[in-house]
């Protein structure tokens, strides 16, 4: 690719911020192409968490002493940072959870059981991660909620006509779909989905676990009702996730977990929940992890989400050209709007064998069904390999992947 077409992001400079990228694997330089599973961490995130633990750690919201006040301020500053990052108007609408999975389970329990009524329906799509599939199956089994599954087109895009048909009878209470597929890289038309859902009286939840990493998110502009993401894919730590929800919905929902911090009063006869967001944050929260997430958000915001998105578009175009040229390689999904996630199959080679062979030359890719078994049934592959990009991914790494796949084809042949 012509250097003049490269986005304005100094990738080599960015890579210096990630200590692990200097690691050797089997004596080879690490080519990390599994950021969709969990991204690597920049030094600023590691330093922020260590500094917190070394200088100002204490439990939050409970202590009337200096360290607790400092720790509480840092924890709540992280909430404010998430609100700004998502374009949310009120930081109280940001709920910290352990992960995207927990955030979706919270909505399935508190909105699904606490607000929705038996006889209503939830719509998901065929391309969902299990985290946005199984909680609704559990809700369906336990609460008499019908689960409807919208189809995916051959291109890997959501079948909007089928989604509209599933909404037509007005019984759907919630549409829960991914913002970006973790298998196909498909970016769904979230504003259009929200408008369609609302026109039929349904609320909408978007799983942004992949999307927030690759492009700017504005929950108000897309007219979402709920939005979830996880910290560890956004260059932050594990153990911290986010649920954003409209205040009127969060206030109407019952608590998800019981215990410390989610109550304002407890008697022998019952309890009174605390206001949002504390109502949904029972127990000691992930304090240090919230600080790490704040540092990660500041890091990507400092680089600029527009620059990150431009870099990724360049990577996607380059990868599509390079991988399409590899003989016997099938790239899964060809959505017009897609992010830096490529699932593929090489001839008759098993995904795990192919992944192992790539690992021998230092390339880390995912192999299996990527927590999306219904989608793999839909696309007709028992398993696939997946290369997923981060802001530190280079065009040269994609070139190396393509060369390694060509070599692997010769090996398996």
Q: Do 62 and 153 fall within a single domain?
A: yes
Nearest Cα to Cα of residue 253 among 174, 146, 194: 174
Nearest Cα to Cα of residue 387 among 359, 412, 350: 359
- Phi/psi region, residue 333 (left: phi>0; alpha: psi -120 to 50; beta: rest), is left
pLDDT of residue 5: 46
Q: Which of 301, 329, 352 is the last residue of a domain?
A: 301
- CATH number for the domain spanning 220: value is 3.40.640.10
CB atoms within 10 A of CB 72: 17
d(CA 207, CA 249): 17
Q: Do 344 and 368 fall within a single domain?
A: yes
Residues 6+ apart with CB under 8 A from 251: 276
d(CA 143, CA 133): 15
Q: Do 123 and 58 fall within a single domain?
A: yes
Helix residue spans in 38-182 (DSSP H): 43-55, 66-86, 100-107, 134-143, 160-167
Q: Do 22 and 51 fall within a single domain?
A: no
- Which residues are known to be catalytic? 371
Kindly report, residue by residue over 146-166, the tens digit of the pLDDT: 999 999 999 999 999 999 999
- Give per-10-residue mean pLDDT for the chain (413 aa): 57 98 95 98 98 96 92 98 96 98 98 96 97 97 96 97 98 98 97 98 98 96 98 98 98 95 94 96 97 98 96 97 97 95 96 96 96 91 96 98 96 88
Q: How many helices (H) and strands (E) does the chain have?
A: 14, 17
pLDDT of residue 209: 98
Domain region containing 81: 46-301
Q: Do 147 and 296 fall within a single domain?
A: yes
Q: Do 233 and 106 fall within a single domain?
A: yes
Q: Tokens standing for 406?
A: 């060509």
Number of domains the chain contains: 2
Q: Do 351 and 266 fall within a single domain?
A: no
Q: Do 293 and 313 fall within a single domain?
A: no
- Asked if residue 368 lies in contact with residue 37, where contact means CB atoms within 8 angstroms, the answer is no
Kindly report, residue by residue over 26-65, the tens digit of the pLDDT: 999 999 999 999 999 999 999 999 999 999 999 999 888 9
Q: Tokens standing for 75?
A: 């924890």
Q: Which of 246, 278, 301 is the last residue of a domain?
A: 301
Q: Tokens standing for 131?
A: 């985290």
Q: Do 208 and 63 fall within a single domain?
A: yes
């Amino acid at each position: 690719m012509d250097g003049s077409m490269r986005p304005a992001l100094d990738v080599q400079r960015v890579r210096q911020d990630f200590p692990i990228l200097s690691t050797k694997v089997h004596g080879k330089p690490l080519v990390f192409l599994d950021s969709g599973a969990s991204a690597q961490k920049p030094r600023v995130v590691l330093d922020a968490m260590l500094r917190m633990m070394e200088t100002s750690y204490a439990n939050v919201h409970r202590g009337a002493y200096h360290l607790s006040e400092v720790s509480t301020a840092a924890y709540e500053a992280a909430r404010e940072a998430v609100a700004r990052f998502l374009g949310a108007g009120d930081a109280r609408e940001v709920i910290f959870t352990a992960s995207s999975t927990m955030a979706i389970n919270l909505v399935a329990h508190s909105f699904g059981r606490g607000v929705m009524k038996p006889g209503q329906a939830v719509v998901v799509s065929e391309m969902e991660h299990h985290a946005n599939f199984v909680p609704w199956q559990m809700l369906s089994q336990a609460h008499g909620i019908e689960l409807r599954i919208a189809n995916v087109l051959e291109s890997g895009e959501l079948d909007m006509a089928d989604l509209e048909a599933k909404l037509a009878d007005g019984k759907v209470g919630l549409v829960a779909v991914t913002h970006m597929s973790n298998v196909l890289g498909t970016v769904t038309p979230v504003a259009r989905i929200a408008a369609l859902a609302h026109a039929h009286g349904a609320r909408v939840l978007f799983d942004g676990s992949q999307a927030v990493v690759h492009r700017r998110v504005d929950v108000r502009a897309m007219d979402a009702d709920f939005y979830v993401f996880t910290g560890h894919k956004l260059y932050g730590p594990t153990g911290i996730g986010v649920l954003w929800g409209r205040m009127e919905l969060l206030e109407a929902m019952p608590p998800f977990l019981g215990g410390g911090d989610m109550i304002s009063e407890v008697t022998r006869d019952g309890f009174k929940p605390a206001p949002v967001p504390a109502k949904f944050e029972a127990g000691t929260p992930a304090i240090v992890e919230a600080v790490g997430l704040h540092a990660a958000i500041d890091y990507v915001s400092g680089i600029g989400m527009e620059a990150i998105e431009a870099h990724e578009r360049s990577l996607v175009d380059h990868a599509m050209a390079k991988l399409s040229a590899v003989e016997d390689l099938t790239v899964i999904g060809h959505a017009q709007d897609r992010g830096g996630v490529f699932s593929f199959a090489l001839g008759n080679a098993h995904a795990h064998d192919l992944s192992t062979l790539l690992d021998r030359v230092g390339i880390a890719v995912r192999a299996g069904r990527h927590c999306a078994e219904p989608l793999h049934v839909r696309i007709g592959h028992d398993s696939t390999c997946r290369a997923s990009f981060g802001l530190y991914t280079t065009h040269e790494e994609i070139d190396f992947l393509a060369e390694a796949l060509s070599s692997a084809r010769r090996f398996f042949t």
